[in-house]
Amino acid sequence: MNSNSNSYIFIYSVVMVVIVAAILSTAATLLKPMQQQNIKNEKMSSILASVNIESTPENAEELYSKYVTQELVVDAKGEIVGTFENGKLSGDARAFDVNIKAEQFKQSQGEAFISPLYVLKNQGKTFYVIPMLGKGLWGPVWGNIALEDDFNTVVGVIFDHKGETPGLGAEISTPIFESQFVGKSIFNKSGEFVSVTIQKGGAQTLPANMQNHAVDAISGGTITSVGVDDMMKDCLKNYVPYIKNQK
Amino acid sequence: MSDQVQEKESLFSAKNRKLISNAIGKDNPITVQVLGICSALAVTAKLEPAIVMSISVLFVLGIGNVVISLLRNTIPQRIRIIVQLVVIAALVILVDQVLKAFAYEVSKQLSVFVGLIITNCIIMGRFEAFSMANKPWPSFLDGVGNSIGYGLILIIIAFFRELFGSGTILGWNVFETIGLYDIGYVNNGLMILPPMALIATGIIIWVQRSRNPELIKD
């Protein structure tokens, strides 16, 4: 058969596409369980890291079940609509499986939405970990913030990003930036929600009474800093009704 | 480079060995042909992603060259570029999936750049210039040679960028151990930024050309 005829080219491409599709879909199906386990381990590690518990991909699951005593799901009114405790689920949803992106979309459409909350116990102390998701300069940024049982003082934060500029916006996931948040508070003295502001020019440029609610922004990473700032305000404010209910 | 290799030639004849040594040295894809620069700039801020990237390219180019060489007499001329792209894309997706399953941390650091191997000029260049006209074994050697040449430059750049930018080698704190911080050294943030990769590549090209005057044509 003439290798330049139309029918030859047509048959050749069809056969090639079918073979390649078969190889790739087999590989994707076989590797999927391991990939999902990796994503799960990373999420668990990140929740643990916000309260300074180090974990590796190997022991993340074990440490997670040891320290995370409760997974709560709260709605916009601050009511608990789902509790996952000791491997048992009561209510509508498990916090670990809540898709924050989908919930944020529902919120933007004015529909009912839910927010996940993790309760950790370590050395007799209780911590509350709130997952966050927002927009950076080049893609999504996300993270976890851990609060003490007064629902006010920050114990630690962990940020991560899809593709912020190395050396600039990507600095949000370095300990230098994250450690600034330790000890800050998200409510002011009169009990209003203020979040933690990421201040361009440095937290010390603010009035003294605001400095406990602000950290220094990243030099040269203004848009990423603003993105993280918005993310914290948008995500944390969904928990304010729940926190008010607890007090 | 693209001469037909004679029948019954030994596997590592002088000609075949040259396929590897030339690609590493005076026909290096990065420093002489100036191909594959984009990924070289992007993944060399740390040594580990640079090594994984080199291995990924070695896999894609080594296997891809053999596949194209085996198919070379059946590929219709008019759609040869499409066939080459399909082979590259399939291999790259395989690499990406395997990394996500077995080296998740590294795959996150490499992020989009594994996917961008598809557009790596070295691979299309070798398919088009070599394996479309040569037998599988020389094509394999050519692929291995070129990816080693590529990987070598990547690893050299990444070594210096990680060492001076973060003070570490593969995450091990070199500068802290030898006490360089105590005498006042500060990590050089410029090394982490992409421009420094370009400058480092430039310095390597300069060194190579000054040692091999035959590379300077004009």
This complex has an ipTM of: 0.75
Q: Which residue from B77, B82, B94 is facing A27, i.e. has the nearest CB?
A: B94
pLDDT of residue A1: 66
Cβ burial B13-35 (10 Å sphere, 16+ → b, else e)? eeebeebbebbbbebbbbbbbeb
Pick from A20, A26, A141, A159 the residue to mutate for testing the B interface (most B CBs within 10 Å): A20
- Higher pLDDT: B178 or B83? It is B83
Phi (first) and psi of residue B149, to 5 degrees: -60, -40
Partners of residue B86 in chain A, C-beta under 8 Å: 16-17, 20
Do residue B90 and residue A17 have CB atoms under 8 angstroms apart?
no
CA A154 to chain centre: 16
Q: How far is CA A24 from CA A161, B42, B70, B117, B155, in A?
A: 28, 27, 20, 17, 30
Nearest-CA distance A190 → chain B (Å): 42
Chain B residues with CB inside 8 Å of A42's CB? Answer: 104
- pTM, to two decimals: 0.77
Q: What is the pLDDT of residues A12-24, one digit of tens each?
A: 999 999 999 999 9
CB contact under 8 A, A35 and B101: yes
Collect all residues of chain B within an 8 Å Cβ-Cβ radius of residue A20.
86, 90
Residues in CB range of A93: below 8 A, 6 or more apart:
A73, A81, A82, A114
- What is the tens place of the pLDDT at every residue in B132-157? 999 999 999 999 999 999 999 999 99
Answer for the pair B207, B160: CB distance below 8 angstroms, yes or no.
Answer: no
Distances (CA, A) of A58 to A40, A62, A183: 12, 8, 30
With tokens 């990939």, the residue in question is A35
Contact at CB, A4 and B111, closer than 8 angstroms? no
* Residues in chain A within 8 Å Cβ distance of B102: 34
What pairs with residue A130 in β-bridges?
A145
Q: Render B131-186 in DSSP notation, one character per residue.
A: ITTS-HHHHHHHHHHHHHHHHHHHHHHHHHHHHHHHSEETTEEHHHHTTTTTTT--
Q: What percentage of chain B reaches a pLDDT higher than 70?
A: 94
Q: What is the mean pLDDT of residues A183-211?
A: 88
In Å, how far is A175's CA from the nearest CA of chain B?
Answer: 14
